[in-house]
Chains A and B, each alone.
Chain A
């Protein structure tokens, strides 16, 4: 969640104007998702849309800096500091095997039923038993293994 900007805050680094529209779009979507009614949804299900938008926005900034190299280091650091992107998640994406990771909680082995295991969404589709429908309770991920 980005910080609120007032007249006293420092202006954003150069190049921000170019991506401001996209970020504003994400913010609008996020607001809609937050205000959406939770009626008829399961307990776990209600946060999924929020997780999804947060993931998409992090992905957008990650791509801009690391893949497409369109923004400066300065702007990237500023965006991270303002929490436009999830720094922990991006840190994982840089590692091999975690390129598509959905959320950091899904690789937190301590939260799982069995010692040292991860979320079901981390299991490659080829290894899953036939007929298993994956929809992880943390973020609604349907599979984020790098091999898929």
Chain B
């Protein structure tokens, strides 16, 4: 069925209860186990699908701000995320982290008419399914689940229910003093300020996810080399395979890498390794983070270790290592 032309026919979401993570209702101050929530039908537009939805509002308790649902239940079910904090319901991790660790593909379109069509179809699926749920991607496999459990924090993150920082205080002219319901603090400069709800939902450019994945990568010894010209990932301990197999495995476990973004793959059969040259540095970093979160890459049923390529000594820094994949591969293979 085609998407509806008339905006009035697109429909709306209505629900009886919000889909939330536990921490959104807690303050950590020995708080009341009972919550009073208000429900407003057609309260506002969903931040993802722009349809009107049922908004729930509540105050978790002393020392916290009023919280409300930001996306509709349909959008939340599609991604399996909380309606308020947009973190994964099972692990409480950002979508980008979860998808990277499980090698999930982002199937949801983000352009206007495609989005409408997609949501319309999925809503129909939900109606027909027995549990009223649909996950656009398959259930997490066991290995991925273990990994995510390791990454997830064990205690609820109460701090995110605190009031926002007073913007007037930051500018130095808040006149409300003690009455001000906002937090009078100087914001920390940790690069986590610029967050965007759309990006967080679709799992791209999420600074929190970047931080978590970066930490995991560092733990696994996948620190990105300082030389920015390095865009090569080295696969160590490969089974008998061709470069087509490596390419397929790469695209399968990093769905955000499209086939034409892999510049070249050079196989060194004698030392069971391969050099994957990617088109640019940010992509290489993202692939490295995703692969380290998955603790390696699976080629022909065997887990293969992935490390960063090394910058080539003696050569000019302007020259990318990737440009001479073959030659560089030979030299590095000996080092590795």
Measuring CB to CB, which residues of chain A are less than 8 angstroms from any residue of chain B? 40, 113-114, 129, 131, 133, 135
Instruction: From known contacts A40-B175, A133-B178, A135-B179, infer whether A114 and B62 are also in contact, taking CB-CB under 8 Å.
Output: no
Which B-chain residue is minimally distant from A142 (CB atoms)?
B179
In the complex, A114 Cα to B58 Cα: how many Å? 11
New A-B pairs, 7, CB < 8 Å, besides A113-B57, A129-B62, A133-B179: A40-B175, A113-B38, A114-B36, A114-B38, A131-B62, A133-B178, A135-B179
Interchain nearest-CB distance for B44 vs A (Å): 15
Interface residues of B in 157-209 (CB under 8 A from A): 175, 178-179
In the complex, A114 Cα to B57 Cα: how many Å? 11
Chain B residue contacts of A133, Cβ below 8 A: 178-179
Chain A residue contacts of B175, Cβ below 8 A: 40
Chain A residue contacts of B36, Cβ below 8 A: 114
Task: Determine the main DSSP class of B at the interface with A.
Answer: mixed
In the complex, A129 Cα to B36 Cα: how many Å? 16
Task: Determine the main DSSP class of A at the interface with B.
Answer: loop
Measuring CB to CB, which residues of chain B are less than 8 angstroms from any residue of chain A? 36, 38, 57, 62, 175, 178-179
Chain B residue contacts of A129, Cβ below 8 A: 62
Interchain nearest-CB distance for B212 vs A (Å): 34
In the complex, A135 Cα to B57 Cα: how many Å? 21
Chain A residue contacts of B57, Cβ below 8 A: 113
Can you give 10 contacting A-B residue pairs, CB < 8 Å?
A40-B175, A113-B38, A113-B57, A114-B36, A114-B38, A129-B62, A131-B62, A133-B178, A133-B179, A135-B179
In the complex, A135 Cα to B175 Cα: how many Å? 14
In the complex, A132 Cα to B188 Cα: how many Å? 27
Chain B residue contacts of A135, Cβ below 8 A: 179
Chain A residue contacts of B178, Cβ below 8 A: 133
Interchain nearest-CB distance for A118 vs B (Å): 15
In the complex, A55 Cα to B251 Cα: how many Å? 72
Interchain nearest-CB distance for B235 vs A (Å): 58
Interchain nearest-CB distance for A43 vs B (Å): 14
In the complex, A81 Cα to B62 Cα: how many Å? 46
Q: Which A-B residue pairs are the 7 nearest by beta carbons? A: A133-B179, A135-B179, A113-B38, A133-B178, A129-B62, A114-B38, A114-B36
Interchain nearest-CB distance for B314 vs A (Å): 64
In the complex, A114 Cα to B175 Cα: how many Å? 30
In the complex, A22 Cα to B175 Cα: how many Å? 32
In the complex, A133 Cα to B179 Cα: how many Å? 6
Interchain nearest-CB distance for B20 vs A (Å): 19
Which B-chain residue is minimally distant from A112 (CB atoms)?
B38
Interchain nearest-CB distance for B316 vs A (Å): 58
In the complex, A129 Cα to B31 Cα: how many Å? 13
Chain B residue contacts of A114, Cβ below 8 A: 36, 38
Chain A residue contacts of B62, Cβ below 8 A: 129, 131
In the complex, A131 Cα to B29 Cα: how many Å? 14
Chain B residue contacts of A131, Cβ below 8 A: 62
In the complex, A98 Cα to B38 Cα: how many Å? 28
Interchain nearest-CB distance for B38 vs A (Å): 5
Interchain nearest-CB distance for A3 vs B (Å): 37
In the complex, A40 Cα to B174 Cα: how many Å? 10
In the complex, A135 Cα to B179 Cα: how many Å? 8
Which B-chain residue is minimally distant from A133 (CB atoms)?
B179
Which B-chain residue is minimally distant from A115 (CB atoms)?
B38
Which A-chain residue is minimally distant from B57 (CB atoms)?
A113
Which A-chain residue is minimally distant from B40 (CB atoms)?
A113
Which B-chain residue is minimally distant from A40 (CB atoms)?
B175
